[in-house]
Amino acid sequence: MNSISDILEAIINSMSRIQEELGPSWNVFCTELTAEVENYISLTDPNKLNEVSELLWDMCCQYPVAKKILLQYLKSKYRSHEEKKYNNVTIFKIRKRLHTLIGTLKNLNHAEDTPTQNKVNETENIRFTMFHPKEAVAGEWYTTLIYTHLESMLEVVRSNAGKFVDEMRHDVREVNNNKVTKLVRGTKIKIIPSASHGVEFNPSTYTLTWNEDIERTSFRFRADPCVTNKHFKGEINIYVESLQVACIQFSVFVTDTTLVNETRVKPEMDESGTKMYQQIFISYSHRDTNIVKSCSKAFKSIGYEVLVDYEKLRSSERWEEALKRMIDQADIFQLYWSANSAESKHVKDEWQYALSKNKLTQGIGFIRPVYWQEPIPKIPSSLEHIHFKYMPSLSESGA
């Protein structure tokens, strides 16, 4: 059984490694932990001080990576890692550990306080810009480019894309708009292309770490002869954690070799195809709160406003009306689909309202379900037309 002092020692000695593993989420984690330590550091009430270790432990364990590191430390040193049982120790020793912890947190932040590191931890305005051929010959492979770049680097991106016009082979279209999103350097971004039946992409998905001012990702696609003389509609879906931060919509006309236009031209701009998300409504079962909290903190660390009941609702409010207002103002309805949420009346009320507000599109592009359990819990017939994204890594968030 671990004492309060042992738990605090584990937190202190693991902090440097936790900082390294958390990456972009470190700032949020450090701010929250520092605030709690400062609340307790001057207390003298033994009962209150006996609670501090469990509170700080629970805060750390909301981050699965931090929890794993702490358990490894305790197991290696004490051969015991029970999470909720602690022995009492002297008030003096607890307060001494708290002072050490606050010093460790401040030193780690101070070590990052250089021009280079500040740039790493600040959010910056970025865009996602796509270049693709307007036409494609059925059965042949074509290149499409997706750029993750600083807002100020758009002209450089266009110049760079011009070097690949021959690979795209035909008239090239640029898909962009004036909206931006905010990310911090070091954020992992997953890019997933998709299209209507008869079109394949290589690779099927790509994950990059955004470090440089411009990051270029290349996909190859091929249309089946069955879609000849038709436009196929596609999407480039861009994720950070389980959150879809952008969706680039595009279309390509599929023709045969006798009709295709072989002219190489400067990329043509299309201002209508990119959707950027800034406010995200979270629909979930309260039994899955640990998963939602972990994802929510990651979203906020990259600059998104998260609309979730436990943060936005007041006890005096009429919750049903308040939730509808939140859905109305959201750019995306993030549905966490599980066996729990499939049985939840409140979750059902939320997605039904989201559907009713998007009758024209039937919720496509607005309702973004993710799931982590296999087999997938039964999907209601009203949602069967919407793609449910499988994200098994979410199960680790609720560990």
> Which phi and psi angles does 249 have, rounded to 5°?
-100, 140
Is the pTM higher than 0.85? The answer reads no
pLDDT in tens, 380-398: 999 998 889 888 878 766 5
> pLDDT grade, residue 264 (50/70/90)?
very low
Distance CA 83, CA 140 (A): 57
Across 248-265, average pLDDT: 68
Rounded to 5°, angle at Cα 112 from 110 and 114: 100
pLDDT in tens, 140-177: 999 999 999 998 888 888 888 888 887 777 678 898 75
Residue 265 vs residue 228, higher pLDDT: 228
How many residues in the chain?
399
The domains of the chain are located at 4-119, 122-276, 279-397
Q: What is the pLDDT of residue 343?
A: 95
Long-range contacts of 352-359 (CB under 8 A, 24+ apart): 352/382, 353/323, 353/324, 353/327, 354/281, 354/283, 354/327, 355/382, 355/383, 357/327, 357/328
pLDDT in tens, 16-53: 788 777 776 677 677 777 776 766 655 556 566 556 66
Q: What is the fold, at CATH topology level, of the domain defined by 279-397?
A: Rossmann fold (3.40.50)
Q: What is the pLDDT of residue 55?
A: 73
Mean pLDDT of the chain: 78
Distance CA 213, CA 84 (A): 45
- CATH value of 122-276 in 3.40.50.410, 3.40.228.10, 2.60.40.10, 1.10.10.10: 2.60.40.10
* Nearest CA-CA partner of 212 in 120, 111, 304, 115: 120
Judged against a pLDDT cut of 60, whether residue 80 lies above it is answered with no
